Copies of this chain bind each other. A is one copy, B any other.
């Protein structure tokens, strides 16, 4: 790729970004669009615009994002989101440190000057965005980008003593990264503790999840068994238990009922509308009862749905009773009257045989994965390893298609393989655009297909909560992107020619990585630019959800509920964002010496990302769950893994430069592992378990235990009528046990 096509790519990306920015500024001021641009505020009953005025500065959102505090983010979007911003700031700060690095070889005085400029934002990661982008502008405005490339290690002579400066630079980057990660871990740990010690009553803090309950002794009900077990151990603090039931059938009936209720509401709304527009009588809507409403008898919709609903209600009630009675499974939620007991019970061994009565923290009610709860201890282990093997195979064998894509999607190859495209492709404009985007688009589409598959696999492991499954999927996705996108694309190009070298000497893979990095620099440069200019542009402007919403509103939605469903935003989805961000950090770190131009882009990526997502978190996305920052240790370990990859690559690159002091770098990966070990020992367990000193903080009020308990009843079992009757029945079962058998 030459300079022209690179600049074209960059230019168009930037143009798109600017257009989308203005589009956002314009569209977000229209009152009809508030539900798209401010749904989180609306759902929380806040005024969409803080000042209440539409005539404000179109770029006010930037100021709002910059001035928003962490506490605001937590209250609007939860701890998990706040932790994600800590991660973004750390990424930003790391990139800022690295930007120093290429200058080292040139001018040692410059370091000191720049250090003073840079170290400040390093310590104030939030403010870093501005300074970072200013710097990168400086860097590019000083000359063409080949000037910046001259700062790279590639321009130094072999064995040059100036390599010492680079070696020191690697140490500098590593140590600053350790420092930043340490600070961040401490900060996130405090965030988590604060959230957990909140004086508000949260149901999941009063419950534990018990799995692998052994078969009940003959003549004893599951519920009796659970109750008596926990009453013995916790005579004073045990409240009651909720045995998990197999809700598959009752859920199906309930969903059907809900579907008909919605349809009835829609039919009534259509009927009401027809009264206003046509004749006073109105026209009663009809539908066909057959497949997809396309065939079968034509019936009056309102009558038909009412009848269906009346049929389903008693059916649901019968099924609810049957489920509660007969479909109890080997898992239960156990409730305690205080947080300390619940937190302590979730961490302690209860049974002498370790694979029975296993306990964990109860997940939030909204994120329990009910069907997974019944899976047994060793089956979970087996499932886990099976999933690991599948993922490992996927990671290894996807390398092949990715390598093909990376080889095919150069334009010359495409012309060779598909000669009929030649006339189209040879046109200058199309050629430039295609050359600039084709490989990146292919890659991005390819990567978009994967997360769902990985999430499915993670759920299959038997994980009990959604947030945990998302964390697991995110980890898998990270390994995938690093192995396939980064290593795959980097090595892929040169792989086939050098395959024999590797076979002879597996150690040469480090050298291979170091030598093949330069060739793919522009590829990744464009990749990063495309990702942040277009990605964040689309993110901010929300063009796609806007269009979909307006189409739905105009043609499909008839009731208020349907309208709300049309604009209801998803969550931030940081489970897939994080691996993407990790890839950028890895790319920026590993290319920082070979193609230093990539560093300002890294700074921009995290800076703009921080800004845009801050806006989205505050105004758009609604969190789907709260895991109190349990994602952080994963982020931490992965930043560290990127750093180690960087250190190893640098070691290889120093080897290529025949620098005799390169072995000094061997210390660094060991230091990184040590740092990771210390962090893990010092902080990690507090992310797995709730520390008792945290749980022991006082509550605002005495918890309403009935309410806590009811929060965990699945909606399909939760009708008021059933509650009073059946659950009460199940609790005071001893006297009526006879009627159950």
Interface segment, A309-317, A588-596, A650-658, A681-689?
A: A681-689
Of the candidates B349, B352, B354, B683, which one forms a contact with A354 in the assembled complex, judged by CB atoms under 8 Å apart? B683
- Does the CB pair B352–A694 fall under 8 Å? yes
Chain A contact residues, majority secondary structure: helix
Nearest-neighbour CB distance to chain B for A199, whole angstroms, equals 15
Provide the A684-723 mask, 1 if CB < 8 A to any CB of B, else 0: 1110011111101000000000000000000000000000
- Chain B residues, CB < 8 A from A355: 681-682
Nearest-neighbour CB distance to chain B for A425, whole angstroms, equals 54
Q: Which residue of B lies closest to A196 (CB)?
A: B352
Distance A189 CA – B693 CA, assembled complex (angstroms): 32
- Chain B residues, CB < 8 A from A192: 352
Interface segment, A118-126, A229-237, A324-332?
A: A229-237
Of the candidates B345, B378, B381, B690, which one forms a contact with A344 in the assembled complex, judged by CB atoms under 8 Å apart? B345
Q: Which of A635-654 contact B (CB under 8 A)?
A: none
Asked if A343 is an interface residue, CB under 8 A from chain B, the answer is yes
Nearest-neighbour CB distance to chain B for A497, whole angstroms, equals 31
- Does the CB pair A229–B693 fall under 8 Å? yes
Q: Which of A236, A343, A344, A352 has the most CB of B within 10 A?
A: A352
Asked if A351 is an interface residue, CB under 8 A from chain B, the answer is yes
Known: A345-B344, A352-B189. Contact between A381 and B681, CB under 8 A? yes
Distance A348 CA – B345 CA, assembled complex (angstroms): 9
- Chain B residues, CB < 8 A from A352: 189-190, 192-193, 686, 691, 693-694
- Does the CB pair B232–A353 fall under 8 Å? no
Asked if A350 is an interface residue, CB under 8 A from chain B, the answer is yes
- Does the CB pair B349–A348 fall under 8 Å? no
Known: A232-B696, A696-B233. Contact between A349 and B682, CB under 8 A? no
- Chain B residues, CB < 8 A from A692: 233, 348-350
Distance A352 CA – B688 CA, assembled complex (angstroms): 11
Asked if A347 is an interface residue, CB under 8 A from chain B, the answer is yes
Q: Which of A317-374 contact B (CB under 8 A)?
A: 340, 343-345, 347-355, 357
- Chain B residues, CB < 8 A from A696: 232-233
Of the candidates B233, B349, B682, B689, which one forms a contact with A685 in the assembled complex, judged by CB atoms under 8 Å apart? B349
Distance A340 CA – B355 CA, assembled complex (angstroms): 20
- Does the CB pair A691–B381 fall under 8 Å? no
Asked if A678 is an interface residue, CB under 8 A from chain B, the answer is yes
- Does the CB pair B357–A693 fall under 8 Å? yes
Asked if A377 is an interface residue, CB under 8 A from chain B, the answer is yes
Distance A678 CA – B355 CA, assembled complex (angstroms): 10
Known: A233-B340, A681-B377. Contact between A689 and B348, CB under 8 A? yes
- Does the CB pair A684–B236 fall under 8 Å? no
- Chain B residues, CB < 8 A from A350: 691-693
Distance A343 CA – B345 CA, assembled complex (angstroms): 11
Q: Which residue of B lies closest to A381 (CB)?
A: B681
Q: Which residue of B lies closest to A353 (CB)?
A: B682
Distance A344 CA – B678 CA, assembled complex (angstroms): 26
Tally of this chain's copies:
2
Nearest-neighbour CB distance to chain B for A238, whole angstroms, equals 12
Q: Which of A190, A343, A682 has the most CB of B within 10 A?
A: A682
- Chain B residues, CB < 8 A from A348: 343-344, 347-348, 689, 692
Distance A690 CA – B353 CA, assembled complex (angstroms): 11
Distance A189 CA – B351 CA, assembled complex (angstroms): 11
- Chain B residues, CB < 8 A from A353: 189, 682-683, 686
- Chain B residues, CB < 8 A from A236: 236
Distance A685 CA – B349 CA, assembled complex (angstroms): 8
Distance A690 CA – B354 CA, assembled complex (angstroms): 11
- Does the CB pair B233–A678 fall under 8 Å? no
- Chain B residues, CB < 8 A from A681: 354-355, 377-378, 381
Distance A472 CA – B229 CA, assembled complex (angstroms): 36
Of the candidates B233, B378, B691, which one forms a contact with A349 in the assembled complex, judged by CB atoms under 8 Å apart? B691
Nearest-neighbour CB distance to chain B for A686, whole angstroms, equals 5
- Does the CB pair A232–B693 fall under 8 Å? yes
- Does the CB pair A690–B189 fall under 8 Å? no
Of the candidates B233, B343, B691, which one forms a contact with A693 in the assembled complex, judged by CB atoms under 8 Å apart? B233
Distance A345 CA – B341 CA, assembled complex (angstroms): 10
Distance A229 CA – B697 CA, assembled complex (angstroms): 11
Q: Which of A190, A381, A692 has the most CB of B within 10 A?
A: A692
Q: Which of A214-234 contact B (CB under 8 A)?
A: 229, 232-234
Provide the A119-159 mask, 1 if CB < 8 A to any CB of B, else 0: 00000000000000000000000000000000000000000
Nearest-neighbour CB distance to chain B for A469, whole angstroms, equals 22
Nearest-neighbour CB distance to chain B for A236, whole angstroms, equals 7
Q: Which of A228-261 contact B (CB under 8 A)?
A: 229, 232-234, 236
- Chain B residues, CB < 8 A from A232: 693, 696
Distance A234 CA – B683 CA, assembled complex (angstroms): 23
Q: Which of A234, A343, A693 has the most CB of B within 10 A?
A: A693
Task: Please name 19 further chain A to chain B contacts, defined as beta carbons within 8 Å, in addition to the given A351-B686, A353-B682, A377-B681, sorted by A numbering.
Answer: A192-B352, A229-B693, A232-B693, A233-B692, A233-B693, A234-B340, A349-B686, A349-B689, A349-B691, A350-B693, A352-B686, A353-B683, A353-B686, A354-B682, A354-B686, A355-B681, A355-B682, A378-B678, A378-B681
**Residues on A close to B: CB < 8 A?**
189-190, 192-193, 229, 232-234, 236, 340, 343-345, 347-355, 357, 377-378, 381, 678, 681-686, 689-694, 696
28 inter-chain pairs at a CB distance below 8 angstroms, sorted by A residue, are: A189-B352, A189-B353, A190-B352, A229-B693, A232-B693, A233-B340, A233-B692, A344-B344, A344-B348, A347-B348, A348-B689, A348-B692, A349-B685, A349-B689, A349-B690, A349-B691, A350-B691, A350-B692, A350-B693, A351-B686, A351-B693, A352-B694, A353-B686, A355-B681, A357-B693, A377-B681, A378-B678, A381-B681
The 3 closest A-B pairs by CB, nearest first: A193-B352, A354-B685, A352-B691
